[in-house]
Structure 1
Amino acid sequence: MSYLKNLKLAAVSASSMSGDPMVHTREKAVAALLEQKRMAEAKIAGQPFTAAHIVRQKNAEGQRVEVEKQKRVRQSWFADGSGKIFFVIRYAGKAIEFAKDKNAIEVGEIAGLPSIIDTLTEAVRAGELDAQLAKAAAERSKQLRKAG
């Protein structure tokens, strides 16, 4: 009896699954926004925020192993002189411009920050910021090519 006869086989490759590079760009932006939301919620609750990522490094025997390390995350919000909170989306090292000469969102109080980030996350998933993300990625690509 063959077990493979019970499976539905297909001819595809992993690279054909990824498709549109904009989907990857959106996923990166959404992941960054969710991290900012977790950081804001920790700040509101008065708790410390730490983020970790997996890195590969050599252990004492010289083997490459995966290790979880703390990663540095910069907060994307700031307060002006009067205490108002503003939020900026950064992608590829650049602040995203939402409209002509408008690159920040006025939040007001820090308690409103998680709901603003939720709204931005939905906007990114819906593709409303695709043009701005693509422009920032293209500018970053040009900078990297010049430096290399």
Structure 2
Amino acid sequence: MSYLDKLTVSKRIIPAPPARRKAESADYRREKLIAHVEEQIELAKLALEGRPLQLQRKRGHKVVNVKPRLWWQVDADGNVITQIRYNKIPLIIKGRGSSIEVGQLKKLPATYRTVIKAIKAGELDRQIQSAYRKSRP
């Protein structure tokens, strides 16, 4: 008797697992942008606390510190101006421009939370789609 004769063989088919994500879906692009905005909130909190602005990323089996890309700048008067970016492309907000004038740095996390609400409501879907198309070859 062979080893394979000991097994119970059937004609049932095991379906392939569903794809982990759909890169083409609007929900995926919203989630991606929200994650990046939340990252900027964490960076703003670090800046407010006076701590170094560093993020940790997993590279292979190692966790390394990386210098983050900040979406905001502080001008000479201490006012903060920020942009919302998707794939490094600034999004046009309400057809008026890509910059948001925040005021003081302490208001930046609240501004980003408002942006997250707008993303979840789908108010930036057209701009995200446009930036997605621009970033693809």
TM-score of Structure 1 vs Structure 2, range by shorter chain: 0.7 to 0.9
Q: Name the % identity.
A: 25
Point out the structure with max Rg over C-alpha. 2
CA distance, structure 2, for counterparts of residue 75 and residue 93 of structure 1: 11
Matches within 5 A, 1:12-23: 13-15=17-19, 18=21, 21-23=25-27
TM-score by structure 1 length?
A: 0.74
Q: Which residue of 1 aligns with 2:109?
A: 114
Q: Considering only aligned residues, what root-mean-square deviation do their CA atoms show, in Å? A: 2.0
Q: Is the 8 A contact 2:53 2:67 kept in 1?
A: no
- Secondary structure class of the residue paired with 1:14: coil
Matches within 5 A, 1:73-84: 73-84=68-79
Q: Which residue of 1 aligns with 2:131?
A: 136
Runs in 1 of length 4+ with deviation above 6 angstroms? none
Q: CA deviation at 1:135?
A: 0.3
CA distance, structure 2, for counterparts of residue 136 and residue 37 of structure 1: 22
Structure 1: gaps spanning 5 or more residues: 1-10, 57-65
CA distance, structure 1, for counterparts of residue 52 and residue 21 of structure 2: 36
Structure 2: gaps spanning 5 or more residues: 1-14
Q: CA deviation at 1:74?
A: 1.3
Q: CA deviation at 1:12?
A: 7.1
TM-score by structure 2 length?
A: 0.79
